[in-house]
Amino acid sequence: MTTAIDVLLLFIERAPHTLALESAALKSVDHVLEVAVGGGHLAAQVLPLISKGWYDGVDLSPEMLERAQQRLARTSYRNYRLLQGDARALPLKTASYNVLFSTYMLELVPLTEIPRICAEFARVVKAGGRCVVLTYAGGFDSLWQWAYKHWPGIFGVRKGAELTPLLQQAGFKIETRSMVKCRGLLSQLLVAVRTGST
């Protein structure tokens, strides 16, 4: 079922999601992980691009996973898994993915917990693999604060420059950091490559 929040998120997130996808330069054989799948909007865009690969999506919330499952079941793709799990301790094997997406999730997590999440991202991404992170960076500030008060599980607190060193400390090299403005919403798009040889 499509809800008002789905429509709102689609309206403001579609263009940043598309840019995040383009930055990932997916190959058809890639194994992709999305941490915090939400309603599955990005997953539905990823699946057509990885016909010979695999998609795993993790989210803390069973309700969001159910929504994502309903959305993906309407596609013709079956090369995916949706799992309940916490970004701070991913229920996944080490060095398994070519690309990891995390979009509009780190806003919801206290800054003190982000190093642990970045370490998990670094653990599950293969050396040379990409990590693509989108976060809210401004715009609609009063409206956003109002939305955060009412839906703290969907609208979080702005985090920006502090994410770059945390990803670097975890073992990523920042490839690009850019700002994306869409319908008044400003997002930060970070693309990072996993260093090392594992």
Contact of 3 with 70, CB cutoff 8 Å = no
Contact of 60 with 84, CB cutoff 8 Å = yes
Tell me the C-alpha distance between 87 and 108, whole Å.
11
Q: Decide whether 9 or 82 has the Cβ nearer to ligand SAM.
A: 9
- Rounded least distance, CB 197 to ligand SAM, Å: 28
Selection from 195, 173, 47 nearest residue 127 by Cα: 195
- Rounded least distance, CB 94 to ligand SAM, Å: 18
Minimal CB distance residue for ligand SAM = 38
Contact of 130 with 193, CB cutoff 8 Å = yes
Q: Decide whether 127 or 141 has the Cβ nearer to ligand SAM.
A: 141
Q: Decide whether 75 or 198 has the Cβ nearer to ligand SAM.
A: 75
153, 155, 161, 164 alpha-carbon torsion, rounded to 10°: 40
- Rounded least distance, CB 193 to ligand SAM, Å: 21
Q: Which residues contact ligand SAM (rule: CB under 6 A)? A: 9, 13, 36, 38, 41-42, 58-61, 64, 86-88, 103-105, 108-109, 153-154
- Rounded least distance, CB 169 to ligand SAM, Å: 19
Strands laid side by side in the 125-138 sheet: 80-84, 54-59, 31-35, 97-103, 125-138, 185-194, 172-182
